[in-house]
Amino acid sequence: MRPRPTFYFHDAIRVRSLALFIFGVAIFSLAGATPLRAQMPGVVSGVVLAPDGSPQAHARVYLQPGNGRPPRTVLTDATGHFSFGNTVSGIYDVRAQANGLWSELIHNVSVKKNDEVSLKLQIKAAAPKSAGNP
């Protein structure tokens, strides 16, 4: 007859420690460490052009959320560029204004997490006055 193996207390601790380690690795793997980028909001950026096609400095750009909240506004830089960082996912309308003139309204701009939406807005020239309209 073979002698029975001896099981010591410290063996039980090793088995338990190994089981806890494997359980911890499995939980961490299943939870999936979310990269920081996955938690970043979107960006709406672009350029505003003057009626003649040149970059429009200091134009005011409006980002209107579709949920009825007040619009956000930014001014373009010297090269006509603008950027709305930290933009929450959603649907927006975008428009620019400079020197009393407006661009066309861009409807339903969809912003998603981590996305950068790039737009080109052009300020429209004032309609010429006709002989019948003062």
Q: What are 66-121's pLDDT values in tens digits?
A: 988 999 999 999 999 999 999 999 999 999 999 999 999 999 999 999 999 999 99
Weakest-pLDDT range from 5-9, 57-61, 105-109, 119-123: 5-9
34 pLDDT higher than 50: no
What pLDDT, on the 0 to 100 scale, is given for residue 84? 98
**Tokens at 15, concatenated:** 């088995």
Choose between 32 and 63: higher pLDDT. 63
78: CB partners within 8 A, 6+ apart? 55, 57
What is the length of the chain?
134
Q: What's the whole-model pTM score?
A: 0.67
CATH class of the domain comprising 42-122 = mainly beta
Q: What are 113-128's pLDDT values in tens digits?
A: 999 999 999 999 986 6
CB atoms inside a 10 Å sphere around CB 44:
22
**Tokens at 39, concatenated:** 């938690």
